[in-house]
Chains A and B, each alone.
Chain A
Amino acid sequence: MKKNVLLVLIIILSLSFLYGCSSNDEVVLNVYNWGDYIDESVLDDFTNETGIKINYETYPTNEDMLVKLTQGGSNYDVVFPSDYMIEKMKKEGMLSKLDKSLIPNLENIDENFSNLEFDKGYEYSVPYFWGTVGILYNKNMVDDKVDSWDILWDEKYKDQILMMDSQRDTIMVAQKKLGYSMNSKNVEELEKAKELLIAQKPLVLAYVGDNVKDMMIQGEAALAVVWSGEAYGVMSEHEEFGFALPKEGSNYWFDNIVIPKDAKNKEAAHKFINFLLDPEIGFRNTDYVGYSTPNKKTFEMLDDEVKARKGAYPSDELLENFEVFLDPGDFIEEYNRVWTEFKAAN
């Protein structure tokens, strides 16, 4: 009997202790980031430097993040959505305008990224990481030069090609090959892209998701459309692979840092953003995550081998043909239709 009372007491005590923890007055910054997307020692350094504590939480997708953000009950001060999600959140008035005077390190960011379609002039967001989409190829199996989407339509590589099982990413390949914008709202252009993808179908081994890396490493295919970050992850451990960006252009994506409208500690949030844009801190994060940094000074600090990665840091002239995905609004119905028809075609 005594034991039971003791047990209940312990439970009540530990509960009240936990509850007590969450209700103190010091500044606590709630940071909501993608999983495994920061060198976590950076967070401690920020606390040591400024005395601001960080509550760090992670999410798996933009959509999951949006749900938690809109439902209330918890409060986030710094979030890292991707390009199209920023566009959407901006439209819905969920973001708070940045006070650029509080972010002097903004000057470290590459000017190429100051006018991105979804947020011109860093009004609501600052780039954190970015990347591209290109072709990962096995040098032992491919002897042609890889510099164009055309190679994915080459009969020679029948059943050795992997495409993404993802609507807009795959339609993008056909659109870019045809020289169209990947945000096209022209039905005729979309139809042509569809025909092209259907024509490619017999050559493609599979339309894949996450298993693309393993299939390439095991030598099941010679060419695959992949994200730059994944490509260099594979290449750092397997020498037989190469990664190239097509000259027709491709998609580049961004994960930017934003402050939600109802954030409680906006001043601390600005401090944290400025801290992340510091060259040294940026270097540690880039070293850990391995994606492309938008920070010019951080880029200078990278190893020469990393700097030379044309696929992760393309030349300015190549970048001219690159685009960010934009929200097509109601026109998404057309994309859905084209994708379904392509999937159903034989």
Chain B
Amino acid sequence: MVNKYIKRIYTIAIFLFLYAPIILLIIFSFNKSKSLSSWDGFSLKWYIELFNDKHIMKSLYYTLLCAVLSSIIATIIGTFAAFGIFNMKKIQRKIILNLNNLPLLNPDIVTGISLMLLFAFLSRYKLRLGFLTMLIAHITFNIPYVILSVLPKLKQMNKDIYLAAMDLGATPFYAFKKIVFPEILPGIITGMLIAFTMSVDDFVISYFTTGNGVSNLSITIYSMTRRGIKPTINALSTILFTVVLSLLLVVNKRSKSIKDLT
């Protein structure tokens, strides 16, 4: 009995700990004054201001475009890479996997600076810092995450089914599409989601690899720090949070109804 209570309190405490900052952020997006700590009455003015703020809206556009493109491209490259690594000999696989882990362990600032130096070097061939360079950088740091989330799924898979398909006359690509791909799909989706969030989240690497008027949300928000973060950012975060939450709910509901059917 007591045990049950403790369990419940513990769960509530954990969720409170996780969600209290977000709830606070949502509440203060409706604050009348600019203050982020004292409540002065309800108003929607920060939402109106948000949609009128061209700089923030433009950053949002670049952020989402970059996140979508980089996660899709990184997922495609990463999935094939994972399949390739999976089929390697053991020593080869170990070497490649360690190489794959390096960028993950490398501090962002090192990745960011080295990419910036590379792009600055390439600038003599007319490559200018901007959206393209930021996108390339994001794809670069996203690929290892995709590989790491696809590989375990490949290991779980029964390799014999794939070989059997080829025995029965399937081309390697056809076998991959029909046998391997459905098996590892959950891993691919996880990898893509991680890549997406990493891309939306990234400040350091983006800061050093972008230029010429292109900046993503993290850069725009961070550059506001001297003058103080405005509640428009709260409003934006609230909208993003609601969108992600409803997306998750829809996805969950769909996968549930599919499960019920089968």
Rounded to whole angstroms, the CA-CA distance of A64 and B213 in the bound complex is: 15
The number of inter-chain residue pairs (CB within 8 angstroms) is 108
Contact of A331 with B by CB under 8 A:
no
Flag if B220 contacts A55 (CB, 8 Å): no
A93 in contact (CB, < 8 A):
no
Bound complex: CA A211 to CA B239 (Å) = 26
Contact: B123 with A237, CB < 8 Å?
no
Judge whether A60 and B132 touch: CB under 8 Å: no
Q: CA–CA, A204 to B87, complex, Å?
A: 66
Q: Are A40 and B53 in contact (CB under 8 A)?
A: yes
Chain B residues near A1: list those with CB within 8 A: 177
Binds A, one of B90-98, B114-122, B148-156: B114-122
Interface residues of B in 216-243 (CB under 8 A from A): 219-220, 222-228, 230
With A54-B213, A72-B120, A73-B123 already in contact, 14 other A-B pairs whose C-beta atoms are closer than 8 Å: A15-B132, A22-B128, A22-B130, A22-B212, A35-B225, A55-B213, A59-B223, A60-B223, A73-B120, A74-B211, A214-B37, A217-B35, A237-B33, A289-B227
CB-CB contacts below 8 Å: B120-138 with A: 120, 123, 126-133, 135
- CA distance in complex: A11, B65 (Å): 11
Neighbouring B residues of A214 by C-beta, 8 Å: 35-37
Residues of B within 8 A of A34 (CB): 223, 226-227
**Residues of chain A contacted by B123 (CB below 8 angstroms):** 72-73
The residue that B128 contacts in the complex, of A37, A74, A289, with Cβ under 8 A, is A74
List residues of A (45-59) whose CB comes within 8 Å of B's CBs. Answer: 54-59
Give complex CA distance A54, B214 in Å.
12
Chain B contacts with A in 182-214, Cβ cutoff 8 A: 207-208, 211-214
Question: A60 to B117, Cβ gap below 8 A?
Answer: no
The closest CB in chain A to the CB of B118 belongs to A73
State which of A37, A73, A210 has its C-beta within 8 Å of the C-beta of B129.
A73
Measured between alpha carbons, how far is A218 from B35 in the docked complex, in Å?
A: 11
Bitwise, A52-81 to B at CB < 8 A (1) or not (0) is 001111111100100110011111000000
Nearest CB of chain A from residue B130's CB, rounded to whole Å: 5
Alpha-carbon distance A327/B126, docked complex (angstroms): 37
Tell me, in angstroms, the Cα distance from A22 to B207 when the chains sit together.
19
Report yes or no: A58 in contact with B219, Cβ–Cβ below 8 A. yes
How far, in whole Å, are A72 and B212 apart by their CA atoms in the complex? Answer: 11
* Cβ B38 vs Cβ A56 within 8 A: no
**B215 CB contact (under 8 Å) in A18, A58, A61, A75:** A58
User: A71 touching B117 by the CB < 8 A rule?
Assistant: yes
Q: Does A30 contact B (CB under 8 A)?
A: yes
Do the beta carbons of B33 and A30 come within 8 Å of each other? no
Any chain A CB within 8 A of the CB of B256? no
Supposing A7-B72, A18-B131, A36-B230 touch, asked if A75 and B54 sit within 8 A by C-beta, the answer is no
Partner of B34 from A30, A37, A56, A233 at Cβ < 8 Å: A233
> Once bound together, how far apart are the Cα atoms of A233 and B226, in whole Å?
13
26 pairs, A vs B, C-beta closer than 8 Å: A1-B177, A7-B72, A15-B132, A22-B212, A34-B223, A35-B224, A35-B225, A35-B226, A35-B227, A57-B211, A57-B214, A58-B55, A60-B224, A71-B120, A72-B123, A73-B116, A73-B211, A74-B129, A74-B211, A74-B212, A75-B128, A217-B38, A229-B227, A233-B228, A237-B33, A289-B227
Please give me the residue from chain A that is nearest to B211 by CB atom: A74
> Chain B, interface size: which category?
35 or more
CA A67 to CA B40, docked complex, whole Å: 40
Whether, in the assembled complex, B69 has its beta carbon less than 8 Å from a beta carbon of chain A, the answer is: yes
A183 within 8 A of B: no
B227 touches A57 (CB 8 A): no
A35: chain B residues at CB < 8 Å are: 220, 222-227
| A61→B226 contact, CB < 8 A | yes
Query: Within 8 Å CB of B34, what residues of A?
Result: 233, 237
Cβ-defined contact, A14 with B37, below 8 A: no
Contact call B225/A11, Cβ cutoff below 8 A: no
Contacts of A23 in B (CB 8 A): 126
From A38, which residue of chain B is reached at the shortest CB distance? B55
A53 (CB) vs chain B CBs: closest residue: B213
* A56→B213 contact, CB < 8 A: yes
CB within 8 Å of B: which of A267-303? 289
Pair B207/A64 contact, Cβ less than 8 Å? yes
- Minimum distance in angstroms from A268 CB to a CB of chain B: 14
CB of A258, distance to nearest CB on chain B (Å): 18
A55 to B131, CA, bound (A): 13
Complex CA–CA separation, A22 to B223 (angstroms): 24
Q: Is the CB of B227 within 8 A of A36?
A: yes
Which of A55, A56, A74, A217 has the most CB atoms of chain B within a 10 A radius of its CB? A74
Distance of A58 from chain B, by nearest CB (Å): 4
The smallest C-beta distance from B170 to any residue of chain A, in angstroms, reads 14
Provide the bound-state CA to CA distance between A57 and B116, in Å: 17
Which residues in B have their C-beta under 8 angstroms from that of A233?
34, 228
Is B223's CB under 8 angstroms from A55's CB?
Answer: no
> If A11-B73, A233-B34 touch, does A55 touch B228 (CB 8 Å cutoff)?
no
